[in-house]
């Protein structure tokens, strides 16, 4: 489905009935990365999964900040007559989820942060982001070469690797560059985690090469009453690599 927002045309999936769940995808993927979760969520929940600006079928690409993306999602929920929802974001989606919580906390019934960070980038990470922005100017093939070994654990299945590679292959170069800039310049929420009052779940992949499990546990420890779940046999994209364990953790939390 598509809806015209102030920022442009946004594509989204809207399936199922029940309390709303907003799923925010990782970089450099699109909403279809949540496919393994749909069969368990849609019988009980209304699942809304957008393509972030410039990704998937949300076109054309344009520059954005985390706050502007939160505004996009707030506008989307308003157009869909959704008052509040559970918000789940993985990786880049987690950055956006935190910004959405910060600005629109009354809309957030529950919060799921998967394979993500609360702090801003450090100097080393900023340098790496800048190098990626420069590399993307020569085409998005660099994204697969650079990111697949970090997004997936070393023994990832060929099917999962193929799915992720295909999603990356379809990314518009300018959309990817805009997203990297937004991630590089995102605010630091590490000192605000204690203010999260809604139920929260922090998920991490056992073999995540980008986010260490101890860092994810630190986020859970900082959020009052938050649950922490480590997904075995998975890397950074834990929902794709071990969907059975991820779905169990997600469903148990949402049904509480």
pTM metric for this prediction = 0.98
DSSP lists the bridge partners of residue 47 as 15, 21
Domains of the chain: 2-254 (3.40.50.1820)
Tokens in use for 174? Answer: 């300018």
* Residue 56, phi then psi, degrees to nearest 5: 55, -125
* Bridge partner residues of 9 (DSSP): 4
Which pLDDT tens digits describe the chain residue by residue (256 residues)?
Answer: 999 999 999 999 999 999 999 999 999 999 999 999 999 999 999 999 999 999 999 999 999 999 999 999 999 999 999 999 999 999 999 999 999 999 999 999 999 999 999 999 999 999 999 999 999 988 888 888 889 999 999 989 999 999 999 999 999 999 999 999 999 999 999 999 999 999 999 999 999 999 999 999 999 999 999 999 999 999 999 999 999 999 999 999 999 9
Q: Which of 179, 27, 7 is closest to 76 using CA atoms?
A: 7
| Predicted confidence (pLDDT) per residue in 220-247, tens digit | 999 999 999 999 999 999 999 999 999 9
């Amino acid at each position: 489905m598509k809806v015209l927002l102030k920022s442009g045309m946004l594509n989204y999936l809207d399936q199922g009935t029940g309390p709303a769940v907003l799923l925010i995808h990782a970089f450099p993927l699109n909403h279809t990365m949540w496919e393994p979760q749909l069969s368990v969520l849609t019988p009980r929940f209304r699942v809304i999964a957008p393509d972030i600006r410039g990704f998937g079928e949300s076109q054309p690409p344009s520059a954005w900040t985390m706050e502007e993306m939160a505004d996009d999602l707030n506008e989307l929920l308003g157009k869909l007559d959704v008052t509040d929802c559970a918000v789940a974001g993985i990786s880049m989606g987690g950055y956006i989820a935190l910004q959405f919580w910060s600005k629109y906390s009354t809309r957030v019934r529950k919060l799921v942060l998967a394979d993500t960070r609360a702090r801003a980038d450090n100097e080393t990470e900023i340098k790496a982001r800048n190098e990626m922005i420069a590399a993307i100017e020569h085409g998005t093939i660099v994204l697969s070469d650079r990111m697949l070994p970090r997004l997936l654990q070393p023994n990832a299945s060929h099917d999962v690797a193929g799915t992720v590679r295909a999603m990356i292959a379809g990314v518009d170069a300018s959309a990817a560059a805009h997203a990297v800039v937004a991630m590089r310049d995102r605010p630091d929420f590490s000192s605000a985690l204690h203010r999260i009052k809604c139920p929260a779940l922090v998920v991490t992949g056992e073999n995540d090469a980008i986010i260490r499990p101890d860092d994810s546990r630190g986020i859970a420890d900082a959020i009052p009453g938050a649950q922490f779940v480590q997904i075995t046999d998975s890397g950074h994209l834990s929902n794709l690599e071990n969907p059975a364990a991820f779905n169990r953790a997600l469903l148990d939390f949402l049904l509480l």
